[in-house]
Amino acid sequence: MSHRDKKKREPATGEKEKLSGKEYLSELNKLHVELVKLQEWVKHKGLKVCIAFEGRDGAGKGGAIKAITERVSPRVFRVLALPAPTDREKTQMYIQRYLPHFPAAGEIVIFDRSWYNRAGVERVMGFCTEEEVQEFLQAVPAVEKAMVKSGIILLKYWLEVSEEEQTRRLEGRIHDGRKIWKLSPMDLKSYSRWYDYSRARDNMFAATDTAWGPWFVVPSDDKKRARLNIISHLLSQIPYKDTPREKIKLPKRQKAGDYRESKHPFKFVPAKY
């Protein structure tokens, strides 16, 4: 057995082997084709889709959203990651700052963290009172029922990462210059409060896991499988068909006529690679 084979971890009982990069990309490409079909159907039928992504820090929300959106139109798939509320927004009804971003006909809006901030980070980190949390948990099922009654297809995903994997990912951000921006002082504070977040999550599920707005939980220690599973599930939740369209044929280009290539001294980007 080679040194590399000795270091390779054997899968635990019942644990699937990780997908190779080739397998992952092959499956992802197939799902991307279906997402484009879904996009065209949503436009064609004027559907309204709202997707909320929640989960612990390092659970893989951003990567999952990128996997969904990298081959579709940002005009249809809109991603919202709202900043901290302004002083004015703090005086509004809590859900008010989210309402303007809800989808119109032909749109799929993805919230990278959503109105559930109140039940999670705001509650655990003390940014709101317990009374405000309970008011939110009592009100949000009715708000979501109104969303669904208005014709919005609502999907809520919770990405669940283990303690060990979260630690590995957050430590990786410390030493990776590409990811250091992902590690905020708030992430470090929240990291130490694992069980406070667990209690907040359990309480949130108990109050808001409804028939019209169910929570779908995604184990995300294996990022590749999690992304594929999310996209596959998303596609299964919105009935769609191939959109009727005329056969595409490129038209002939015009002839050059009296056009002559410009003699302008273009400043080209240096070819360093």
SS (H, E, C) 15-30: CCCCCCHHHHHHHHHH
Give the domain CATH number at 225: 3.40.50.300
Q: Is 58 inside any structural domain?
A: yes
Q: Is 273 inside any structural domain?
A: no
pLDDT at 35: 98
Q: Is 149 inside any structural domain?
A: yes
Query: What pLDDT, in 10s, does the model give residues 178-215?
Result: 888 888 887 788 888 999 999 999 999 999 999 999 99
Mean pLDDT over 75-84 rounds to 95
Q: What rounded mean pLDDT belongs to the chain?
A: 92
Q: CA 44 to CA 242: how far, in whole Å?
A: 10
pLDDT at 14: 54
Token pair of 147 as six digits:
């969303």
Q: How many domains does the chain have?
A: 1
State the pLDDT confidence band at 1, using cuts at 50, 70 and 90.
Answer: very low
Q: CA 64 to CA 59: how far, in whole Å?
A: 10
Q: Is 242 inside any structural domain?
A: no
State the pLDDT confidence band at 96, using cuts at 50, 70 and 90.
Answer: very high
Decide if 139 contacts 208 (C-beta within 8 A). Answer: no
Mean pLDDT over 145-160 rounds to 98
How far from the centroid of its chain's Cα atoms is residue 19's Cα?
A: 21
Range of the domain at 181: 19-237
Highest mean pLDDT among 37-46, 182-191, 239-248: 37-46
Q: Is 68 inside any structural domain?
A: yes
Q: 184, 217, 228: which is closest to 28 by C-alpha?
A: 228
pLDDT at 189: 81
pTM: 0.89
Cβ burial of 85 (10 Å; 0-12, 13-18, 19+) is middle
Q: CA 53 to CA 98: how far, in whole Å?
A: 14
Q: Is the pLDDT of residue 55 over 80?
A: yes
Q: Is 121 inside any structural domain?
A: yes
Q: CA 52 to CA 119: how far, in whole Å?
A: 14
DSSP 174: H
Q: Is the pLDDT of residue 12 over 80?
A: no
Share of the chain above pLDDT 70, in %: 95
Mean pLDDT over 24-51 rounds to 98
Q: Is 51 inside any structural domain?
A: yes
Q: Which amino acid is at 69?
A: T
Q: Is 193 inside any structural domain?
A: yes
